[in-house]
Amino acid sequence: MRLTILLFDRFTALDVVGGYEVLARLPGVETSFAATECGVVAADTRRLGLIAYQRLADVKQTDILYVPGGPGVDAVMTDAEVLRCVAGLSEQAAWTVGICNGVCVLGAAGLLAGRRVTTSWDSRDRVAAFGAEVLTDRFVIDGDLLTSAGVSASVDGALALATELVGAPAAQLVQLGIEYYPAPPFGPSSVDAVPESSKEAVLRWRAEVEPKQLEMTTPWHTR
Amino acid sequence: MRLTILLFDRFTALDVVGGYEVLARLPGVETSFAATECGVVAADTRRLGLIAYQRLADVKQTDILYVPGGPGVDAVMTDAEVLRCVAGLSEQAAWTVGICNGVCVLGAAGLLAGRRVTTSWDSRDRVAAFGAEVLTDRFVIDGDLLTSAGVSASVDGALALATELVGAPAAQLVQLGIEYYPAPPFGPSSVDAVPESSKEAVLRWRAEVEPKQLEMTTPWHTR
């Protein structure tokens, strides 16, 4: 069973690795990282680089297509060639997975009309505009489509997909293997219990502070 | 503030990225991935490659030294040069972080005698042999030492460290940024509630099946 994980400039690393760490360990799964070009793909912080071993255009078939999120999603949504590949691979795949605002990529590829999905807390309106019914769940399975909330929800979503693929007893062994019995040191139990003022602070940080931080610092890979 | 994450052959990706995704986003943190040699470092599945932008021997100082786990830990524990670097950097660092069985690396570097720590469920005896007091907590802070349980516990541990570094309100904004309100689809709430038979099954899988899987499949990066 082939798992193809899409990488693109400014992906969010935990969107990728949260799901990968569950799915790549399932018996018979062959994992491949694919991007427009082979080589190093830089995460949103510019400090982490993951390797794409395949060109997306060279992927002829996959059983699971996995689309993570990140600030780079905006550029992906206007890349006709990537969207064509995503739509084509999704059509043949047994499962299509969208994580965080990566769900927007599926929407831009024309895959969300009439589908029940979830996405990151700050992308719900955007995903709904593609004609999807957006739930506030941590993950949602609708037919052959698995979507998850933001970033770390990729672990929960992937465990749910693992249950579909190999059954709950085997999926629980994977959960044990990655010791996933989470215990956050603080915080509410749901993103929807977080005050609006905190959400505004995060959005402001992303819009105003993060880009300046990136400009000010030289990525290691260009030194 | 400099965060140096150690990479080595056959690290476990979520050990690295769970903590990275929290810590690299903190204001003023400069993240660097370091390994014995610069370049691609292959994770335990051989399907994921992360880039080390620095040679470990070239890292003269770091504020946070972060040591992940993975099957490659056994080899690291007998690598005198890496252990010398780890001990030297840890001595100067404000914080030393050990994730999963990466805590054994700290032990082999002589850093654990009399310290209170946690580690992955299957490494407790091994860590105790270094003279540490091993707790079963998800994460433990003892002075300048933060240790976490296995793999996914890196997120919980890093949020606890973020609280020390920037305070709880800011750390909770990071939690919101990575939407960390976990909801595993099944399973007990603690690894110590998992039946022994499941633990034996995971250890058997790692000892017998995983190595054969790795032999049978050709990593993408050598094709």
Shortest CA gap B81–chain A (Å): 23
**Among B127, B120, B128, B126, which residue's Cα sits nearest to residue B12?**
B120
| Neighboring chain B residues of A180 at a CB cutoff of 8 Å | 151-152, 182, 184, 187
Segment B154-178 shows an average pLDDT of 96
Segment B138-146 shows an average pLDDT of 98
The sign one gets for the Cα dihedral B84, B89, B92, B93 is negative
Residue B65 clears pLDDT 80, i.e. is over it = yes
pLDDT tens figures, B190-201: 999 999 999 999
| Neighboring chain B residues of A201 at a CB cutoff of 8 Å | 173
Answer yes or no: are the C-beta atoms of A48 and A11 closer than 8 Å. Answer: no
User: What does the pLDDT read at residue B220?
Assistant: 53
| Neighboring chain A residues of B199 at a CB cutoff of 8 Å | 176
Residue B217 clears pLDDT 80, i.e. is over it = no
Shortest CA gap B86–chain A (Å): 21
Contacts of B2 (CB under 8 A, 6+ apart): B29, B30, B32, B61, B62, B63, B64
| Candidates B3, B4, B14, partner chain A, best to mutate (most A CBs within 10 A) | B14
- The mean pLDDT value of chain B amounts to 94
Task: State what percent of residues in chain B have pLDDT above 90.
Answer: 88
Answer yes or no: are the C-beta atoms of B126 and B101 closer than 8 Å. Answer: yes
Give DSSP secondary structure letters for B157-215.
Answer: HHHHHHHHHH-HHHHHHHHHHTT-----SSS-SSGGGS-HHHHHHHHHIIIIIHHHHHH
Segment B214-223 shows an average pLDDT of 56
Position B221 confidence tier, pLDDT thresholds 50, 70, 90: low
Shortest CA gap B141–chain A (Å): 12
User: What does the pLDDT read at residue B223?
Assistant: 45
Smallest Cβ–Cβ distance between A13 and the set B21, B27, B49 belongs to B21
Residue B86 clears pLDDT 80, i.e. is over it = yes
Segment B171-184 shows an average pLDDT of 95
Smallest Cβ–Cβ distance between B176 and the set A33, A49, A202 belongs to A202
* CA–CA distance, A20 with A29 (Å, rounded to integer): 11
Residue found by looking up tokens 């990575």 in the block: B178
Contact A48 B194 (CB under 8 A): no
Contact A27 B151 (CB under 8 A): no
| Residue A19 token pair | 């799901």
Residue stretches of chain A with pLDDT short of 50? 223
| Residue-level length of chain A | 223
Which H or E run contains A216? helix A210-216
Q: Which residue of B has its CA nearest to A12?
A: B21
Answer yes or no: are the C-beta atoms of B30 and B69 closer than 8 Å. Answer: no
SS (H, E, C) B80-134: HHHHHHHHHHHHHCCEEEEECCHHHHHHHCCCCCCCEECCCCCCHHHHHCCCCEE
User: What does the pLDDT read at residue B222?
Assistant: 52
pLDDT tens figures, A173-212: 999 999 999 999 998 889 999 999 999 999 998 888 777 7
User: What does the pLDDT read at residue B26?
Assistant: 92
Smallest Cβ–Cβ distance between A181 and the set B47, B175, B190 belongs to B190
Contact A202 B151 (CB under 8 A): no
| Neighboring chain A residues of B149 at a CB cutoff of 8 Å | 179
User: What does the pLDDT read at residue B208?
Assistant: 85
* CA–CA distance, B203 with A13 (Å, rounded to integer): 28
Phi, psi torsion values for B51, nearest 5 degrees: -95, 130
Residue B120 clears pLDDT 80, i.e. is over it = yes
Is residue A100 among the annotated active site residues? yes
| Residue A84 token pair | 């064509």
User: What does the pLDDT read at residue B211?
Assistant: 77
